[in-house]
Structure 1
Amino acid sequence: MELVWSPEMASKVFIDTVNNCINFQESDEAEMISAMAGGWNPRLIVEAWLGGSEITTSIGLEIAARNLGGRYVCIIQNESLRSEFVAAMEEHGLPVPDLMVGEAKEVMARLPEVEFMVVDGRRKDLRELFGVAKLSHRGAVLLCKNATRRRMVGFRWELVIGKTARLVRSVIIPVGQGLKIAYVKENPEYEKSPSKNHSRWITKIDRKTGEEHVFRG
């Protein structure tokens, strides 16, 4: 069964996020992201947080996960940022979600069936985070915020998601500092590929010596 859009839940989560972010001057991006998370009804929401003053998206995702009864995991690079995140959420009277501290490859390996993922475009490990994510067989929605940053030059979803997934559609929305969104599904061709689990033995003959060389390709 694929991810199914629910406009009713999207609307409910949007309103709850607006009410919780009423004291923030700019919260349009967070409200949109949270509404999308609510509408797609993901079972696992993942955010890669960078730090700083941008806590509104995390607030919106926590609200979405709570309404959906799903799991929200926030990936943080070090213990200092972890303390900053916890303090920010508690300041607004919100529960702290599951926090995972560490490098992208190590952390994402422990998170199977990702269905909704948000990464700050200012993170240096941006491409790696998306690239190593184990996406759900139901499909996944991937979002990159702060997408107009210099680090995003040359960014293409097709190059990031790898061979295990295929891009169904993508869009760029001019909210905040730019929001890149992609909807992806499993790539059936990858499952059929013999190179996925099996390597080939290749034989080469040295014309000068006549020796046969065999190596794994």
Structure 2
Amino acid sequence: MACWSPENATKAYLQALKMGKRDNEPDITEFISAIAAGNNAQLMVMACSTMAVSTALALVAAAHQTGGRVVCILSGLNNEDIHASSEEALGPHANCIEFVLGDAQKLLIDHEEYKCADFVLIDCNLDDHKGVFRAAKECTSNHGGGLIVGYNALHKRISWSEFKTRFLPIGEGLVVTRTTAYGGSSSGGSGGDGGKRSRWVVTVDKCTGEEHVFRL
């Protein structure tokens, strides 16, 4: 992935905040948007069983800053109904998302286009979420590495050591890992060197002057 862009992160963060139309403090939506845009993600793939409108909007906001694409793979039962209701809930923003119905694990491994994904967002409520993580790790490492983020991870009593993730107590819980070329991974850092240490990212709200600090 490209070098970290504080400007993209800040703009995506603020846009996601605006799209969410909330007056309370920022949460998972703005965080996901900031790290996707800050890492200049070009192909963002979201794998979920039911549409999480806020997380989808996070990727749309990031794509507006990076010029990237957003693909949403709906893997659950009744995914055609979920697709229809998702488009309705997202309104005009649905036009910014490419919806795909099918098995996320299989698509990430077999679909030539998705093998170029550099940011993968995974709903940990998927029955096969660990299999999707493995597929995401394989596809992102094929072209130099990428960032994999799992949400709804708070209540999953499983070991994430296989994926070398870092758990973040944001929203319903996030797990984050970065892959490098040829399958390597690290739980922190945002540069291209696959660093082993976490780092702090500071974004500034240009409207209020407030600083927001994230640890990656």
How many residues are aligned here? 174
Post-superposition offset of 1:155: 3.1
| Off by >6 Å, runs of 4+ in structure 1 | none
Distance 1:172 1:106, change over 3 A: closer
Q: Secondary structure, in 3 states, of the residue corresponding to 1:123?
A: coil
1:180 alignment partner AA: V
CA contact (8 A) 1:74 1:100 kept: yes
Stretch moving more, 103-112 or 126-135:
103-112
Q: Secondary structure, in 3 states, of the residue corresponding to 2:116?
A: coil
Aligned match for 2:140, one of 126, 135, 138: 135
CA contact (8 A) 1:104 1:125 kept: no
2:120 alignment partner AA: M
Stretch moving more, 60-69 or 32-41:
60-69
Q: Which runs of 5+ in 1 are unaligned?
A: 161-166, 190-217
Deviations 1:166-187 (A, max 9, x none): x5xx421111011111111123
Q: Secondary structure, in 3 states, of the residue corresponding to 2:93?
A: coil
Residue matched to 1:179: 174
2:146 alignment partner AA: A
Structure 2: distance between partners of 1:56 and 1:131: 25
Post-superposition offset of 1:148: 1.3
1:76 is aligned to 2:74:
yes
Q: Secondary structure, in 3 states, of the residue corresponding to 1:135?
A: helix
Q: Give the structure, 1 or 2, with the largest relative contact order (CA under 8 Å, sep 6 or more).
A: 2
1:119 alignment partner AA: I
CA contact (8 A) 1:27 1:56 kept: no
Q: Secondary structure, in 3 states, of the residue corresponding to 1:88?
A: helix
Stretch moving more, 20-29 or 137-146:
20-29
Higher share of residues assigned helix: 2
Q: Secondary structure, in 3 states, of the residue corresponding to 1:11?
A: helix
Q: Percent identity?
A: 28
Which of these two proteins has the greater Rg computed from alpha carbons? 1
Q: Which runs of 5+ in 2 are unaligned?
A: 185-216
1:1-217 paired onto structure 2 within 5 Å = 2-23=1-22, 28-51=27-50, 54-77=52-75, 78-90=79-91, 93-96=92-95, 97-108=97-108, 109-110=110-111, 111-133=114-136, 134-136=139-141, 137-149=143-155, 152-156=156-160, 158=162, 160=163, 170-187=165-182
Deviations 1:176-216 (A, max 9, x none): 01111111112379xxxxxxxxxxxxxxxxxxxxxxxxxxx
1:36 alignment partner AA: I
Distance 1:43 1:6, change over 3 A: same
Structure 1: distance between partners of 2:26 and 2:126: 20
CA contact (8 A) 2:166 2:176 kept: yes
CA contact (8 A) 1:118 1:144 kept: yes
Distance 1:26 1:82, change over 3 A: farther
TM-score by length of 1: 0.73
Deviations 1:52-82 (A, max 9, x none): 6x31110110111122111110010221111
Post-superposition offset of 1:26: 7.5
